[in-house]
């Protein structure tokens, strides 16, 4: 019943969304190239969407099986809108085996949603991304990407308005996850994050009683131990984020992650890369593989930073590649090759 209902909602939304599609196509300069060179059969792609919930430390589907989401995050939507296109998402799903895409909506930097960015255009891009992901049977994370603003309280009123609007629109979708604050930093305490989370979660829950909500943790989403000691009370289906950059963060942070899970905290790695913490520098594949081994063992979901051709090591597309879908092997950077092989390896 729920499935039929959301298919109806999606179809209706698609009709209403046509103007937004025009916007995205206008933003996308490269013509779609049929996916040739990576040429993988769709049979290996993850199966149809089902609503998710949290049981213990795990993300679970309606059939009761553990679900592990593995995929990629966009760069800032205002920075690189061209990668929000259906051919791109289709390739990520069918060829790369990604079952989730994260839509990173910066609040502060570069045309940020709360710093002079075009709110309506950015929301149109989010909506297009949700529809493309849904049609491609992928989960989609709406990421309120705080960063230089440090404390999520800085733009709390706008966060509440944004999540109120989105959760009203997507209440019936089985595939939406809400990430309410990317990376609190600058000394923001867990108590401050928790107070923010209580308010934003209650706004989302008023519309959507059971979607999975991801809560950031102190120190650029690393101190999951503090969340484990004092989790948000009163709501189901919450998970807490840990972010790592494998050339910087090693055993210490991995132990913090596994200790939190063993203490009963549902952890979700909503952002990571295999380079250093500035998103650049050398990549460390051996360390990255250690992270993957542990995350797989614990059933933890992980989403790679980032889907762009920016001249930085975390970008999975090389700067010389100007197409926005139909990527070939040569279009991928070192971190892109690693991600492709890692996602395909399972
Ligand atoms: C980086 C981008 C870079 C951009 C910068 C803006 O890769 O192109 O100029 O943000 O400040 C994070 C953040 C993520 C960062 C990334 C790398 O969530 O926004 O992206 N990073 O620095 N946390 C740890 C690393």
User: Cα(279) to centroid of ligand 1, in Å?
Assistant: 6
Q: Determine if ligand 1 sits within 6 Å of the CB of residue 183.
A: yes
Q: Determine if ligand 1 sits within 6 Å of the CB of residue 182.
A: yes
Q: What counts of helices (H) and strands (E) characterise the chain?
A: 11, 10
- By alpha-carbon position, which residue is closest to atom 10 of ligand 1? 279
Answer whether 166's CB lies under 8 Å from 125's CB: no
Answer whether 182's CB lies under 8 Å from 146's CB: yes
pLDDT digits (tens, 9 = 90+) for 110-123: 999 999 999 999 99
Cα(72)–Cα(314) distance, rounded to whole angstroms? 11
pLDDT digits (tens, 9 = 90+) for 155-190: 999 999 999 999 999 999 999 999 999 999 999 999
Which helix (H) or strand (E) segment is 192 a member of?
Answer: helix 190-207
At residue 5, the pLDDT reads: 54
At residue 37, the pLDDT reads: 40
| Regions of the chain short of the pLDDT cut 50 | 1-2, 4, 14-47
Where on the phi/psi map is residue 261: left (φ > 0), alpha (ψ -120 to 50), or beta?
Answer: alpha
342: which residues sit within 8 A by CB, 6+ positions away?
Answer: 288, 289, 292
User: Cα(169) to centroid of ligand 1, in Å?
Assistant: 29
């Amino acid at each position: 019943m729920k499935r039929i209902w959301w298919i109806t909602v999606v179809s209706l939304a698609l009709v209403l969304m046509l103007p937004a599609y025009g916007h995205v196509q206008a933003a996308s300069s490269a013509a779609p190239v049929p996916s040739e060179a990576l040429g993988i059969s769709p049979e290996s792609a993850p199966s149809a969407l089902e609503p998710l919930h949290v049981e213990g430390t795990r993300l679970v589907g309606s059939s009761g099986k553990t679900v592990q989401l593995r995929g990629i995050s966009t760069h800032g939507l205002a920075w690189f809108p061209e990668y929000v296109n259906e051919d791109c998402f289709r390739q990520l799903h069918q060829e790369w085996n990604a079952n989730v895409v994260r839509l990173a909506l910066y609040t502060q930097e570069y045309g940020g949603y709360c710093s002079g960015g075009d709110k309506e255009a950015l929301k149109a891009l989010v909506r297009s991304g949700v529809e493309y992901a849904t049609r491609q049977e992928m989960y989609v994370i709406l990421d309120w990407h705080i960063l230089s603003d440090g404390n999520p309280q800085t733009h709390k009123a706008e966060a509440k308005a944004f999540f109120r609007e989105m959760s009203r629109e997507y209440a019936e979708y089985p595939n939406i996850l809400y990430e309410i604050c990317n990376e609190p930093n600058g000394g923001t305490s867990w108590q401050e994050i928790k107070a923010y989370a209580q308010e934003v979660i209650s706004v989302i829950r008023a519309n959507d009683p059971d979607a999975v909500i991801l809560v950031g943790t102190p120190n650029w989403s690393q101190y999951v131990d503090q969340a484990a000691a004092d989790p948000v009370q009163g709501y189901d289906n919450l998970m807490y984020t840990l972010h790592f950059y494998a050339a910087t963060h090693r055993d210490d942070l991995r132990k913090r992650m596994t200790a939190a899970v063993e203490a009963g905290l549902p952890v979700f790695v909503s952002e990571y890369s295999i380079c250093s913490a500035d998103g650049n520098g050398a990549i460390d594949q051996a360390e990255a593989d250690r992270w993957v081994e542990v995350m797989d063992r614990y059933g933890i979901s992980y989403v790679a930073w980032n889907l762009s051709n920016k001249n930085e090591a975390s970008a999975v597309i090389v700067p010389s590649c100007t197409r926005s879908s139909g990527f070939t092997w040569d279009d991928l950077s070192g971190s892109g090759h690693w991600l492709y092989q890692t996602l395909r390896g399972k």
